Structure 1
């Protein structure tokens, strides 16, 4: 007796990949040293496709380029993750200025997964690359304020701030514009500390009492009739904020 097998092979079902966690508000700070996200690759063919070949790509403006090194759940991979079907992985990519240049304001992240039958699934997300400029407030000085030429010093307070929590440390510089010539103030005191190189390593939202000796530099022993004072604050990604009075 002939037995006819009428069974037919089921078609291969393509896998899918999803981002289960992304940077907050889809924003990555320019000073961040890593790009972190979670993914999960799944395939309905669980018997055959227990592992799914998974890769990641970035497009910063010149097309997608493969990420050749990353960690997944703490283990380092050279560009290819043999993801277990249905498992969530925490991905960490070392973020360098070569990988994502600081002048890039947005970029695309793509995750691609492939099963044993070469069927693919992918997911793309757009991320912004941001850095908020710091600001600096000055108190104790006002526009057109009169400062006696006979006083050897003048003082005021300044408060640098940056809304980006990553930028806790700020760099502050002071300048005087005397008769059209900008002069950096290298010697001053800030919160009682002597500054001799013009660089104040400041904390965001902290107020500093500044005292400037008017006899420095030596070629300007007395301030002229009109002076423009400017303070600059710079954050980790060298984005500049300033405030000035004349």
Structure 2
């Protein structure tokens, strides 16, 4: 009995490993085709504009809400901590570094993973199970160039201004709380921000935007294309895309910060 159990477990592990590596191979080829289709952006400029509005303009409210909330909370908590050491004048410096390097781009990435990524997975999954993607192939249209590439280009372009907006909103809310909660003069707050920001602080934050755009778009679109099993399959593909892309965003956030800060 134990021997047969171990053999069955071994077979399951081997099958899972095979499925994993096959999935990674398919995802790599899928991503490669999406990047190679970028020169065709002029042909699909209408699709690009639609997706730019979806991941850009339509995402502004959720980005603002998350950035303002975390900026205000960060100012309150960090200010209370600095007050114990008599260093409240450093609140602007510590808040600016936290928002620009980490929290601004990270929150933007997570919010868009939930909003833009879920839309990609659900929309493409519905097209997959209704055989609309097969119909595109039958008419001689590359579905990746038509459906995925415009989303990827739109995300690469729009995630940068959304990151800047997230940083700006977070700093403004932190400055407001510093003035009205901690009674810090706005001049003191901003004088602790601007002179001490280095180029690497902006490189760390804004380099994450295209990395997050690639991860969120390709992972969610790939899961949408892989949807099987009717509407329940669309739900599973959408959830899987959100979970995987959010996890990869957190991992990428760490490694981008580590690599840039170690080499600048």
After TM superposition, the score normalised by the length of structure 2 is 0.20
Higher relative contact order (CA 8 A, sep 6+): 2
Instruction: Compare the two structures and name the one with the higher helix fraction.
Output: 2
